[in-house]
């Protein structure tokens, strides 16, 4: 990795992304987004200093999009998955074309829950990354090691290999986000240490430089995910290669998620 990649941290707008997983129906989604917007506004949160994204279930997306458009709410809208295919006989799947038409800008790909419960391997992840880019969506490529991987290979080896495979055939100019999510830290209450997150994030930035180019490495945001909360977010954001967070459980609690978005203020980073 060129050292310029790390030094360019200031050019990367921090991204705090809420992955709601299979929680909140469309009415609860609308109420949650409205409350988050007002909570941040009341707290004087400066729009633009941190980019906020929500990833509701598919059934909520239309309602959330309508609300965001009508009230000019400055949140990015994301989806939790997409099909590798454009259209056709794929029962239950959702095309990136449909998501793009609904104003979705980001899509999570390769979340460990999809890799584990839906047996999505590196080939499927790679195909979905290409499908997202084809439809103008920014893939949020999730990588991370299990507790067993950590013990056997250390923290970086598995995420590095997953990212290398996900980036095969991706042009250096592509707009992507990478999320480092150690599987053992997701939903466990036991987050990685900031030093662990930094070590892997730096290795992933090295992959971006090697497989894409130095500019992609300097420009691309790398998030940490896994038991992020308001009490630990600032310690991650102090690390030079961590540009934001992918937040699961804590994104469902509006005051907690708002406090995570406001990490600069409430902990003074
Ligand atoms: P968590 O989930 O914040 O509940 O650990 C993170 C994720 O799975 O993206």
Rounded-to-integer distance, Cα 186 and Cα 179, Å = 12
Question: Which domains, ranges and CATH numbers included, belong to the chain?
Answer: 2-267 (3.20.20.70)
Place of tokens 């460990």: 112
Q: Which of 120, 181, 199, 239 is catalytic?
A: 181
CA-nearest residue for atom 7, ligand 1, is 248
Confirm if 75 and 15 have CB atoms less than 8 A apart: no
Residue 243 per-residue DSSP state: -
pLDDT digits (tens, 9 = 90+) for 66-79: 999 999 999 999 99
Q: Is the pLDDT assigned to residue 121 strictly greater than 70?
A: yes
Q: Verify whether ligand 1 is closer than 6 Å to residue 19 (CB atom).
A: yes
* DSSP designation for 191: P
Q: What is the dihedral of CA 199, 248, 106, 94, to 10 degrees?
A: 130
Q: Is the CB of 56 under 6 A from ligand 1?
A: no
232 lines ligand 1 (CB under 6 A): no
Inform me whether the pLDDT recorded for 8 exceeds 70.
no
SS3 content of the chain, % helix, strand, coil (to 5): 50, 15, 35
Total Cβ atoms within 10 A of residue 254: 19
* Residue 144 Cβ contacting ligand 1 at under 6 Å: no
The ligand 1 atom at the shortest distance from the C-alpha of residue 186 is 5
**Site to substitute for ligand 1 among 111, 186, 232, 236, most atoms within 8 A of C-beta:** 186
CA–CA separation, 226 vs 66, rounded Å? 30
d(CA 252, CA 211): 35
Handedness of CA 224, 141, 173, 13 (dihedral sign): negative
Mean pLDDT of 137-149: 97
The whole-angstrom separation of Cα 97 and Cα 99 is 5
Residue 116 reports pLDDT greater than 60: yes
pLDDT given for residue 4 in this prediction: 47
Lookup: tokens for 206: 């090295």
Identify whether the C-beta of residue 182 lies closer than 8 Å to the C-beta of residue 218.
no
Counting residues of the chain whose pLDDT is more than 90, the rounded percentage is 91
Q: Residue 245 and residue 192: Cα distance in Å, rounded?
A: 12
Please report which confidence band the pLDDT of residue 2 belongs to, taking 50, 70 and 90 as the band edges: very low
Q: Which two tokens stand for residue 77?
A: 């809208």
pLDDT category, 3, cuts 50, 70, 90? very low
Q: What is the pLDDT of residue 1?
A: 43
Predicted confidence at residue 142, as pLDDT, reads 98
Q: Residue 247: CB within 6 Å of ligand 1?
A: yes
Measured between alpha carbons, how far is residue 183 from residues 28, 192, 225, 229, 266 in Å? 28, 10, 9, 16, 28
What are residue 39's phi and psi, to 5 degrees? -65, -45
> What is the average per-residue pLDDT within 212-236?
98
The pTM is what? 0.95
Do β-strands 221-225 and 138-143 pair in parallel, antiparallel, or remain unpaired?
unpaired
Mean pLDDT of 249-263: 97
Residue 46: pLDDT band (50, 70, 90) is confident
Checking if the pLDDT of 246 tops 80, the result is: yes
Q: Is 181 a catalytic residue?
A: yes
Element housing 160 (H / E): helix 157-166
pLDDT tens readout for residues 156-169? 999 999 999 999 99
Q: Rounded mean pLDDT of 219-231?
A: 98
Which tens digits make up the pLDDT trace of 176-203?
A: 999 999 999 999 999 999 999 999 999 9
pLDDT value of position 93: 98
Which is higher by pLDDT, 123 or 48? 123
């Amino acid at each position: 990795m060129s050292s310029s990649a790390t030094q360019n941290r200031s050019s990367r707008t921090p991204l705090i992304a809420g992955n709601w997983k299979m929680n909140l129906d469309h009415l609860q989604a609308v109420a949650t987004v409205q409350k988050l917007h007002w909570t941040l506004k009341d707290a004087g949160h400066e729009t633009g200093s941190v980019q906020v994204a929500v990833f509701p279930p598919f059934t909520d997306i239309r309602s959330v999009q309508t609300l965001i458009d009508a009230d000019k709410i400055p949140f990015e809208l994301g989806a939790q998955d997409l099909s590798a295919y454009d259209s056709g006989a794929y029962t239950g799947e959702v095309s990136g074309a449909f998501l793009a038409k609904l104003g979705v800008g980001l899509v999570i790909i390769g979340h460990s829950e999809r890799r584990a419960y839906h047996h999505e391997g590196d080939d499927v992840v790679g195909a979905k990354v290409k499908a997202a880019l084809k439809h103008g969506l920014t893939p949020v490529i999730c990588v991370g090691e299990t507790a067993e991987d950590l013990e056997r290979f250390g923290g970086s080896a598995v995420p590095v290999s997953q990212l290398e495979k996900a980036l095969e055939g991706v042009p250096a100019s592509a707009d992507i986000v990478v999320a480092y999510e150690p599987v053992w830290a997701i939903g466990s209450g036991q987050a990685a240490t900031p030093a662990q997150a930094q070590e892997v994030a730096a290795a992933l930035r090295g992959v971006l430089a090697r497989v894409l180019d130095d500019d992609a490495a300097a420009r691309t945001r790398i998030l940490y995910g896994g038991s992020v909360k308001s009490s630990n977010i600032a310690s991650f954001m102090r690390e030079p290669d961590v540009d934001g967070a992918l937040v699961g459980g804590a994104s469902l609690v509006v005051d907690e998620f708002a406090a995570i978005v406001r990490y600069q203020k409430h902990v003074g980073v």
